[in-house]
Amino acid sequence: MTTATEKKSIRRYFQGVVVSNAMAKTIVVRVDQLRHHPKYKKYYRVSRKFKVHDEKGQYKPGDIVRFEECRPISKDKRWRVMPKAA
């Protein structure tokens, strides 16, 4: 049984490619996913774009980043960049 001090964080995270960094403290990240078509038995690519909070503005288009879910920062931003592992 868990106690009140043991809070388990259930946050979603994704990895994708930076598409744009034109906004202040925000990057747009594209996440690609392969799906399987049930009838034609082919794999096809589906992509989604996320607006991710980048406080330091250190990521450029083409960089691969990992980001996690967080509290709403603005109307569209609900994600923030995870720090790089050393």
User: What tens digit of pLDDT does each residue of 21-72 get?
Assistant: 999 999 999 999 999 999 999 999 999 999 999 999 999 999 999 999 999 9
β-strand pairing of 79-81 with 43-53: parallel
Please give the C-alpha separations between residue 5 and each of 2, 8, 9, 10, 70, in angstroms, as whole numbers. 8, 9, 12, 15, 20
pTM across the whole model: 0.82
